[in-house]
């Protein structure tokens, strides 16, 4: 088991290193003079030279790369040209909001997608299967921003059930910062008012983000279950009188979700990407809206840091996905 984990982590090293090289080259090579670009149009030649020296741009490229690696390892990601604060600080502050949103939509899309997929497989070519097909088409066809705006129009503007944007109403004081995760901090601080309000704010963006992934997860689950049901061991388990609910939700499902887990891993990446749009629409104070702001203001340091961050998250999710596969199917563990 430990060997399996270490192996998977080892496999992630080359791709992460590649990512570092690419981001490094993007900083150093894309603008002809990065120091001038950093300093802005109004800078004097002396200021530019100072910056060049400060960031080691007058050193050989190899030395610069080593310095760059050292800074990354110390989580020194530079300073945002827009907020004038260390990028690492900004990210640390905003990442929990994004993760909260992503986990909420994962929870929704997995929690609904898996049962829908199982039902569609059991009621093959009947009503639940039909519903899933409609959902799938919608999940692919409907643009995220349109869906988000429709939800806002209906549930906030029309019905006034849910807040329009943001993470917490201005009238609600933020709970004491313990973990950075708003919902968690409200719980830990027993701030039920903040918890309820944060939850209400979370619903619409999470639903928007979950929508696309939901149909994918349901489709993969459905295909997996249909496939598993063909196996001899399902007939055997029925013949031995396994209780139907346990047969389906435990013995069949465990065999069926391999593809679903891969899909969930991919979905996580998709959620980070999709989160950019959703965070912008719902004014969600996370990494996504930070990125949009950076792109609009040309804040290169932030863009590169976010690229790095997303790469690291992808690598971690990949390792986790493999790990879950290993836990689900013991044959994989014995093979490595």
Interface with another protein by CB under 8 A: which residues? 231-233, 235-244, 246, 251, 254-255, 328-331, 334
DSSP string spanning 161-220?
Answer: -S-SSSSS-TTSPPPP-SSS-HHHHHHHTT-HHHHHHHHHHHHHHHHHHHHHHHHHHHHH
Residue 53 or 250 having the CB closest to another protein: 250
177 contact partners, CB below 8 Å, separation of at least 6: 185
Sort 256 into a burial class: Cβ within 10 Å, 0-12 / 13-18 / 19+: buried
Name the minimum Å distance from CB 64 to another protein: 50
Smallest distance from another protein to CB 239, Å: 4
Question: At its nearest, how many Å lie between another protein and the CB of residue 9?
Answer: 24
> Is-contact 238 103, C-beta < 8 A?
no
By C-beta, is 215 or 255 nearer to another protein? 255
How far is it, in rounded angstroms, from Cα 66 to Cα 56? 11
CB closer to another protein, 4 vs 24: 4
If the CB atoms of residues 73 and 240 are measured against another protein, the closer one turns out to be 240
Question: Of 160 and 243, which CB lies nearer to another protein in the complex structure?
Answer: 243
Q: What tokens appear for 233 in the block?
A: 């061991």
Which tokens in the block code for residue 35?
Answer: 């120091």
Min CB(325)–another protein separation in Å: 11
CB of 266 to another protein, least distance (A): 22
DSSP character string of 45-98: HHHHHHHHHHTTTTS-HHHHHHHHHHHHHTT---B-TTT-SBHHHHHHHHHHHH
Closest of 321, 320, 322, 317 to residue 333, by C-alpha: 322
Residue number with CB closer to another protein (141 or 239): 239
Indicate the residue among 46 and 232 with the shorter CB distance to another protein.
232
Residue bearing tokens 């929508």 = 211
Q: Smallest distance, Å, CB 1 to another protein?
A: 14
Please state the length of the chain: 336
- Closest approach, Cβ 329 to another protein, in A, equals 5
């Amino acid at each position: 088991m430990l060997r399996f984990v270490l192996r998977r982590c080892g496999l992630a090293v080359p791709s992460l290193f590649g990512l570092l090289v690419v981001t490094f080259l993007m900083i150093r090579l894309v603008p002809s003079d990065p120091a001038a670009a950093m300093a802005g149009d109004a800078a004097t030649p002396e200021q530019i030279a100072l910056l060049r020296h400060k960031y080691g741009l007058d050193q050989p490229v190899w030395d610069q790369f080593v310095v760059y690696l050292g800074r990354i390892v110390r989580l020194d990601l530079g300073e945002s040209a827009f907020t004038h604060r260390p990028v690492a600080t900004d990210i640390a502050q905003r990442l929990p909001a994004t993760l909260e949103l992503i986990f909420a939509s994962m929870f929704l899309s997995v929690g609904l997608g898996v049962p829908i997929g199982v039902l569609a497989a059991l009621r093959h070519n009947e009503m639940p299967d039909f519903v899933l097909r409609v959902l799938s088409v919608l999940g692919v066809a409907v643009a995220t921003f349109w869906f988000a705006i429709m939800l806002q129009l209906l549930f906030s503007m029309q019905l006034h059930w849910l807040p329009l944007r943001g993470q917490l109403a201005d009238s609600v004081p933020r709970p004491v910062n313990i973990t950075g995760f708003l919902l968690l901090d409200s719980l830990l601080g027993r701030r039920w008012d903040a918890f309820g309000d944060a939850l209400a704010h979370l619903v619409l963006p999470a639903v928007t983000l979950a929508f696309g992934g939901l149909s994918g997860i349901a489709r993969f689950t459905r295909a997996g279950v249909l496939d598993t049901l063909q196996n001899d061991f399902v007939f055997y388990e029925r013949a031995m009188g396994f209780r139907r609910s346990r047969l389906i939700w435990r013995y069949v499902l465990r065999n069926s979700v391999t593809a679903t887990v891969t899909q969930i891993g991919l979905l996580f990446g998709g959620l980070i990407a999709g989160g950019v749009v959703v965070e912008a629409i719902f004014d969600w104070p996370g990494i996504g809206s930070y990125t949009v702001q950076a792109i609009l203001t040309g804040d290169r340091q932030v863009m590169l840091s976010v690229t790095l961050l997303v790469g690291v998250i992808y690598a971690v999710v990949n390792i986790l996905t493999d790990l879950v596969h290993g836990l689900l199917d013991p044959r994989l563990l014995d093979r490595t």
